[in-house]
Amino acid sequence: MKMVLLGTGTSHGVPVIGCDCKVCRSLDARDNRLRCSAYLSEPAKVLVDVGPEFRIQALRYKVKGVDAVLLSHSHADHLHGIDDLRIFSHSKAYDPHNKGAGETKGEGLPVYSHRAVIEDIRHRFSYIFGEVRQGGGKPKVNTIATEGYDVDNPIRIGGVEILPVLLKHGYLDDSGWIFREKAGDGHKSIVYLTDLNSIPDASVDRIKAFAGRIEHLIIDGLRVLPHSTHFSFEQALEVAERLAPRNAYLTHITHNLFHYQVQEFVDAIISRYPCLDSAKRNGGYVGPAFDGMELVC
Ligand SMILES: [Zn+2]
Ligand SMILES: [Zn+2]
Ligand SMILES: [Zn+2]
């Protein structure tokens, strides 16, 4: 599997509009964070969230086909680029040679999330779902509720098995996603968890039951201080420790610290987390994600 992180910033992005803080003025490219999104390019083309900068992200990181979209929740920073799915949702609209991108979209581009998110996007983007055709076109999407999928019946898209997992984001339900592929007698996986400020024990069990060996864990870690709807760095590392991945990446990061300072913060406390500490000693990555980071397994 191959994934690129299209964005790793909090809802404002970094730099924040109008902010003159040192981080927002940083010349380190890793301190420039677009809104959170990820793109699995192999073995299938799957987009996780479609925020307001999706067009920029798609051009910057060469997103050349989308077989399906997964939505974590309906906050604007994860959804409001939905109109730019147009190019991927019409039959042959993008590239006649790319079979994955257009030819099977009779019903539209599959967009998966839990039922409440689908109801919300059908309400908020009613022009997409109504009969009236807008000038310039609109995305053709096929919303699919994920409630029926479970460990024995995952979503299957072109060679990758995908399972949603319930996260709590303030009072909202949010979906994390496990991407799984066969490896030897078992499985290897990439686990993507944002946005959340708590995770039910049942969700941790569900991840452990499905994921097999977790090669890459991407998890919401907003800042040092606690927050009502996001994990702090320490809270994110606590959950990462329970999942024992080979590599762990914090995402949805604010402008409070430089990238290198987030890494220093993690390094200073990593001995509290034996599994993560050991993963790092074995050459794994435990620290802040950055835009354009490529994860392969
Ligand atoms: Zn967010
Ligand atoms: Zn700032
Ligand atoms: Zn959110």
Say which CATH number the domain at 218 has: 3.60.15.10
Q: Token pair for residue 61? A: 């990181």
Q: Which ligand is nearest to the CA of 35?
A: 1
Task: Give the pLDDT score at 24.
Answer: 98
Return the pLDDT at 104: 42
Of all residues in the chain, the percent with pLDDT exceeding 90 is 89
The CA 115 to ligand 1 mean position distance, Å, reads: 19
Q: How far is the CA of 80 from the centre of ligand 1 (A)?
A: 11
Q: How many angstroms separate the Cα of 285 from the Cα of each of 6, 17, 24?
A: 18, 31, 25
Residue 181 CA to ligand 2 centre (angstroms): 39
Q: Are 92 and 58 in contact (CB under 8 A)?
A: no
pLDDT tens-place string over residues 245-261? 999 999 999 999 999 99
- How does residue 101 score in pLDDT terms, banded at 50, 70 and 90? very low
CA of 41 from ligand 2 middle (Å) equals 32
- Residue 174's closest CA among 74, 77, 243, 249? 74
Distance CA 289, CA 126 (A): 34
Q: What is the pLDDT of residue 97?
A: 47
Question: How far away, in angstroms, is 17 Cα from ligand 2 center?
Answer: 8
- Calculate how far, in angstroms, residue 81's C-alpha sits from the geometric centre of ligand 2: 24
pTM of the model: 0.94
Q: Which residues, including other chains, have CB under 8 Å from residue 150's CB and lie 6 or more apart?
A: 163
Domain count, the chain: 1
Pairing of strands 141-145, 109-113: parallel
Q: Convert the pLDDT of each residue in 55-76 to its tens digit.
A: 999 999 999 899 999 999 999 9
**How does residue 106 score in pLDDT terms, banded at 50, 70 and 90?**
low
Full residue range of the structural domain in which residue 179 is found = 2-296
Nearest to 81 by CA among 108, 51, 109, 59: 51
- Residue 103 CA to ligand 3 center (angstroms) comes to 33
